[in-house]
Structure 1
C-alpha cells in the first residue's frame, strides 16, 4: 500500500463517526479495531517470521492486567512477611507499562521458545498462555480472580479550554483505537522494510541459507517477538480501559484463534492483510445478527472461512494484488509498439530485435 492510498484510508476511517454516529455500531467497530491491532501484532510473527504463536492472547492479557492494576493500584502479599503496595498511577503511564511488561514477556518467551521450531514452539506458546490464565484465575488477592477487575479508569486526553478529559464517548473511543491501530501499522511497516525485516523474511524463506550468510537467527526473531508482544499488550491495554472490566477470560484460546483467522484470511505476510481480515470477520457477526438465527450465523461464518481457504489460499489481499497485476496493461519494451508487445508480436521486418529482448 503506497502512502497516498494509506492516507486516504486513514482519513476515511477517521470520518466514520461523522457520517455514521450510531453509538452501538461505533462500539462494535471499536471492538473489532482492538482485535485488528492484536492481529497486526500476530502477523509480525506468523506472516513475516513464519512462526505460529498459538498463545498470543497471553500478551494481550498481560497488557490488559498490567495497565488495569497500575491504574487502580494494588496491595498484595508475597509471603514471608513481604507485601507490595502500589498507589494508583496515571492511566497513560499504566498503559505504557502494560506495553513494556508485555514486551518483556515477549523477550523472555522468545529467548526460550525460539531455540525450538515447529510443533515445539506452538506447544510452548500455548502452555504459556494457559499458565498466565491460571495465574489470573487463582491469584485472587491481586487479580480478583473470576470476580474480575472493575471500575478501571478510562484513558484521558487534553483538550484546549477543557483540560484533561476522560475518553468515554463512543466516537472518542473509536478515534483512540484508530490512532493506536495506525501507529501499530506504521511501526510494523517500518520494521518490515528495515534491515531487521529483511533478515526475518530471509529466515522465513530459507533459514539454513540465512544462517550460512551470517544472519543471527535467534537475535532477529527475539526482536520480532518483543515488538509483536508489545503491540499485543497495547491492544490489551486498550481493551481494559475501554471496556473497563477484565477477567481471566482475556487469556482464552478463542482470542488467539480469532487473530489467526484475521491474519490468514486477509493474507499473512502482508501489511494490509490483518486489517482486511479483521474488518470482515470482526464485523460479520454483527452484520448477520438479527438477520439469521445464531446457529445459521456460525454456519455462514465457518462456510466463509472454508471458501476463503479453498479459493483464496494466500488470502484476500494477495489475491486482489495478483488480480490488479493481471489487469494492469503491460509496458512496451524498447523498439516495439505497445500493442504488438502486449500480443507477443515480433518486431517489424527489417528491424533487428533489441539486445535486451533476447539476450
Structure 2
C-alpha cells in the first residue's frame, strides 16, 4: 500500500491545477512544493544517515542568491582594487550554478564536520547558516542587503524552435516545481537503494559495525551532504525566480524548523515521509487561516504536530506501513491453525 503512496500523490498533484481555480491555492501548493524538496533533501541526511543539520536553510538561501545574481548580473569591488562586472544571463544557467555551488558548499561542510560528527556537525551547520546570513545582510554592494534583490526574472525553459521561454504563470511554475520534486525523489530513491545508500543506513544503525566492514564513514556522509545541499540549492533557485524578490530573511532559522517538522512528522528515513509531511504542514496554515486568528493558528499547528508524534512517534508513513502489515497478517491464513483444526 505505502509503495503506491508516492505514485498516487504524483497523479493527484498533477491533476490538481485542472480542478483548482483559486490562484491563492495554486500559489500555496507551489511554495509547499519548494519546501517539500528541501524536506526531501534534509531527509537524506537526517533520515538515512542520522545526521541532523540545523543550518540546512543556508543551502536554500545560497541557491536563491546564486541563481538570482546569475540572472540579474552584478558589479562588485574586491580587495586590491579589483572589480568584477557581470551583465547577467539565463535563469536556467543560474539554476545549474545554484546546484553546483551549493553542492560544493555541502561537500566542504561535510569534509570539515563529519570527521567529528554528532553535536559538532549541528554546531557547524548552524554557524555556517548564520555566517552566510550575515554576509548576505552586510555585503550590500553584491546582495543589496536588507533592500533585497528585486525584479528577478522568471525561470526559463528551452523549447525547440522558440528558444528560452519564460515561465510567468502560476500553472507553469507549479508544473516546474512538481517536475523538480519528482526528479529529486527519483534521485534519492536511486541513491538510498544503491550500495552507497546501504552504507548510509549502516552508519546510522551501527557505526562501529559499519566501520569494521570497511565503510568509509567520512566519504559516505560527505556524498550525502553534497547531494542534500545541491537539492536544497535547486529549491532555493526555484523560490527566487518564482517570488522574484529575495532578502536575507531567506536564511531564517524558522525555515529549517519547518523542514525538520515535515521530515519528522511524515516519517524520517522513508521516501514518502517528507512528501506527506510537506503537504500536511505546508498546507495546514492555508486551511486554518480563514477560520481562526493567527495566534490560534499556531496553537492548532503545534497541537496537531504533538498529537502526531504522540500517536505515531515514528511518523505518519511508518505508522501506515505498520497498519498495512497488521492487516495483511490478519488476512493471511495461519497454516499451523489450519493443520490443528483438521481431524
TM-score bucket of the superposed structures, by smaller chain: over 0.9
For the residue of structure 2 that corresponds to 1:215, the secondary structure is coil
Q: TM-score, normalised by structure 1?
A: 0.91
Residue of structure 2 equivalent to 1:266 = 266
For the residue of structure 2 that corresponds to 1:149, the secondary structure is coil
Asked whether the equivalents of residues 154 and 167 of structure 1 are also in contact (C-alpha less than 8 Å), the reply is yes
Aligned counterparts, 1:1-359, within 5 A: 6-159=6-159, 164-329=164-329, 338=333, 340-341=334-335, 344=337, 346-347=339-340
Question: What is the aligned residue count?
Answer: 343
Asked whether the equivalents of residues 21 and 171 of structure 1 are also in contact (C-alpha less than 8 Å), the reply is no
Structure 1 vs Structure 2 CA RMSD: 1.8
CA distance in 1, matches of 2:285, 2:318: 24
CA distance in 2, matches of 1:7, 1:280: 17
Q: TM-score, normalised by structure 2?
A: 0.96
Deviation at 1:120, TM superposition (A): 1.4
CA distance in 1, matches of 2:56, 2:145: 21
Cα distance change, pair 226–313 in 1 and its aligned pair in 2 (3 A): same
CA distance in 2, matches of 1:160, 1:217: 45
**Deviation by residue 1:9-52 (Cα, 9 ceiling, x = unmatched):** 32221111111132110001100110000000000000000000
Range with bigger deviation, 157-166 or 240-249? 157-166
For the residue of structure 2 that corresponds to 1:219, the secondary structure is helix
CA distance in 2, matches of 1:258, 1:62: 18
CA distance in 2, matches of 1:31, 1:203: 33
Asked whether the equivalents of residues 6 and 272 of structure 2 are also in contact (C-alpha less than 8 Å), the reply is no
Cα distance change, pair 174–308 in 1 and its aligned pair in 2 (3 A): same
CA distance in 1, matches of 2:3, 2:288: 34
**Deviation by residue 1:148-169 (Cα, 9 ceiling, x = unmatched):** 0000011123457765321111
CA distance in 1, matches of 2:180, 2:24: 21
Residue of structure 2 equivalent to 1:355 = none
Segments of 5+ residues of structure 1 without an aligned counterpart are 333-337, 351-359
Segments of 5+ residues of structure 2 without an aligned counterpart are none
Asked whether the equivalents of residues 158 and 165 of structure 2 are also in contact (C-alpha less than 8 Å), the reply is yes
For the residue of structure 2 that corresponds to 1:157, the secondary structure is strand
CA distance in 2, matches of 1:326, 1:211: 35
Range with bigger deviation, 66-75 or 114-123? 114-123
CA distance in 2, matches of 1:292, 1:75: 47
For the residue of structure 1 that corresponds to 2:78, the secondary structure is strand
For the residue of structure 1 that corresponds to 2:214, the secondary structure is coil
Which structure shows the bigger proportion of residues in helix conformation?
2
Q: Which runs of 4+ in 1 moved over 3 A?
A: 1-8, 158-164, 329-332, 344-350
Considering only CA atoms, is the larger Rg found in Structure 1 or Structure 2? 1
Deviation at 1:331, TM superposition (A): 7.8
